[in-house]
Amino acid sequence: MGRDSLVGPDPTWESLPADVRELWIRDIDDFPPPPLLLELMDRDLQLDSYDPKRLASRIAGDSVLTGRLLARANSAAMAPRTPITSLGTALVHLGFNLVRSMVVNYQIEQSAQKLPGIVREHMFSIQRSTDNGAIIAFNWAREMREPDPAAIATRCLLGRLGTFLLARRFPAEMPEYFATTHEPQRLNFEANRFGVTSRSLTFKVAQRWGLPESLQLGVFHLWTPLFAEWGEPGGCIACGGLALGFDPPQHMDDIEQWLSLRVHARLRENLERHGALGRLSNVLDSTEYQTEMAATAEFGK
């Protein structure tokens, strides 16, 4: 089976020549851990019930992040009754899911901007896809009554760390890369064009940053439901959510057409095995999902 039809993590990190691994390790070392990210993940950003007042006091000193949160809270999609001027009020109005996505993406952006040569447009494309994927995954996991929807969504927010490194090293390839239509094709594109997959690089960045072990394993196995039976419902939801992040669905017809592709056969089996596919229509019809996606799209423009 050639790589054009291959679905899976090939080549592996261990299969890379030692000198190639060394070059990537240098790139990983150039990608510093975001300030506050580990602290916030261990506390505020891993909880479904959080204290907006306490979180506001932690991030109020960053005028850029504060401005972004206020701007999204006052967006047409969020439709506040009166203009919101308080950060604490903005956090309440936005809700935990959007707040976590914005804070984590902002933290990662601060680190990615330190990568020499990365194109801002490419960085934004990566962030937008992870933002969309996290919204899909969080609402999907909540619909499935998973015990920790936030942790599942956080896998999506961190699931493309390695893509920043690919975008930095291969900027000319990124327009075609982002135009690919599904995740197996993107994995194959990486293997064919770059000789390494974002999956391997993401795991190595997660290790380098010292992320919690559960998150390291979460991003390592993020794409496993695409090519192997996977017994954890949360992992299948994270995989499906992030894979849909580049082109978020509006209707179940979109999902059915997307999953009808042969390369998604195993993902579909995994989702159906856990009863997740049948619940997705409730997510797409929910006010929470539609509002969050609209706010993200509006903010992105």
Residues whose CB is less than 8 angstroms from the CB of residue 247 and which lie 6 or more positions away in sequence, other chains included: 181
On whether residue 6 sits in a domain, the answer given is: no
Residue 29's pLDDT is 95
**Domain membership of residue 125 as a residue range:** 13-32+118-300
Residue 301's pLDDT is 52
Residue 277's pLDDT is 92
Domain count within the chain:
1
What confidence tens digit (pLDDT) does each residue in 167-203 have? 999 999 999 999 988 899 999 999 999 999 999 999 9
What confidence tens digit (pLDDT) does each residue in 244-287 have? 999 888 888 888 888 888 889 999 999 999 999 999 999 999 99
On whether residue 287 sits in a domain, the answer given is: yes
* Whether 240 contacts 276, CB under 8 Å: yes
On whether residue 67 sits in a domain, the answer given is: no
On whether residue 23 sits in a domain, the answer given is: yes
- pLDDT less than 70: residues of the chain: 1-10, 42-50, 299-301
On whether residue 62 sits in a domain, the answer given is: no
Q: Which of 301, 12, 5 is nearest to 182 (CA)?
A: 5
Residue 139's pLDDT is 95
Residue 1's pLDDT is 38
* Whether 11 contacts 196, CB under 8 Å: yes
User: What b/e string do you get for 65-94 counting C-beta neighbours within 10 Å, with b at 16 or more?
Assistant: beebbbebbbbeebeeeeebeebbbbbbbb
On whether residue 46 sits in a domain, the answer given is: no
On whether residue 190 sits in a domain, the answer given is: yes
Half-sphere exposure of 73 (CA within 13 A, CB side): 23
On whether residue 247 sits in a domain, the answer given is: yes
Residues whose CB is less than 8 angstroms from the CB of residue 43 and which lie 6 or more positions away in sequence, other chains included: none
What are the start-end ranges of the H helices in 190-247? 198-209, 213-220, 233-243
Residue 3's pLDDT is 44
